[in-house]
């Protein structure tokens, strides 16, 4: 029998009841998805042991994300996902937990986008969690090359989780359809 798998700490706070209604196991799903995203981006870890990594996920509503978006980005509108890196370039503490940051997701926006894309809410939530966690590790989509790298990694993580490629249409032609905002 091999050594036990040690996972990062993923704290999930569900403040919007719609999440529990749509996805009763939302907290466990978020933990599994965040761990998968972290595992796929091991080269970006600020430490060498996953059990030191901590991520917080907030499953909220549009009003909450609108307030966060307004206060932190100066955009007075709801959005699907926001990431707040904790280290932001600073070195990690030499011992103990390493908080990577927070990922916040809005129910109404995710539900609306999922319906428009012909995806389920759990599939789109998975995409938003993966996207948010990758941002915590320093991935971004500020230029085309970085965006393509990030999308490629998102797609690989989601495929491993059984979630279809969010950047391709459902017709099966695999034509790239950017969803970046």
Look at residue 42 in the predicted model and tell me its pLDDT. Answer: 87
Cα–Cα distance, 88 to 93 (Å, whole number): 13
As a whole number of angstroms, the distance between CA 117 and CA 56 comes to 27
Average of per-residue pLDDT across 157-170: 89
User: How far is residue 156's CA from residue 152's CA, in Å, rounded to a whole number?
Assistant: 6
Position 88 scores a pLDDT of 78
Tens-place pLDDT, residues 117-141: 999 999 999 999 999 999 999 998 8
Smallest Cα–Cα separation from 15: which of 63, 54, 55? 63
Q: How far is CA 176 from CA 128, 131, 146, 180, in A?
A: 18, 17, 16, 12
Q: Which residue has the tokens 């993966």?
A: 130
Per-residue pLDDT band for 142 (boundaries 50, 70, 90) equals confident
Give the model confidence (pLDDT) of 7-24 as tens digits. 889 999 999 999 999 999
Tens of pLDDT along 31-51? 999 999 999 998 888 888 888
Question: The tokens of 159 are what?
Answer: 């495929």
Please give the pLDDT value at position 170. 55
- Closest listed residue to residue 37, CA positions, set 100, 111, 79: 100
With a cut of 90, say whether residue 175 has pLDDT above it. no
């Amino acid at each position: 029998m091999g050594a036990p798998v040690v996972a990062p700490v993923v704290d999930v706070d569900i403040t919007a009841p719609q999440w529990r209604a749509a996805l009763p196991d939302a907290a466990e799903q978020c933990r599994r998805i965040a761990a998968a995203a972290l595992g796929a981006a091991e080269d970006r870890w600020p430490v060498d042991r996953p059990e030191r990594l901590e991520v917080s996920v907030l499953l909220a509503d549009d009003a909450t994300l609108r307030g966060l978006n307004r206060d932190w980005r100066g955009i007075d509108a709801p959005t699907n996902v926001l990431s707040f890196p904790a280290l932001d370039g600073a070195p990690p503490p030499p011992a103990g937990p390493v908080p990577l940051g927070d990922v916040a997701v809005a129910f109404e926006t995710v539900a609306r986008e999922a319906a428009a894309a012909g995806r389920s809410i759990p599939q789109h939530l998975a995409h938003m969690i993966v996207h948010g966690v990758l941002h915590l590790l320093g991935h971004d989509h500020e230029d085309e090359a970085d965006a393509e790298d990030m999308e490629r990694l998102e797609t690989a993580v989601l495929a491993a989780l059984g979630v279809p490629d969010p950047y391709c249409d459902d017709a099966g032609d695999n034509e790239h359809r950017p969803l970046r905002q």
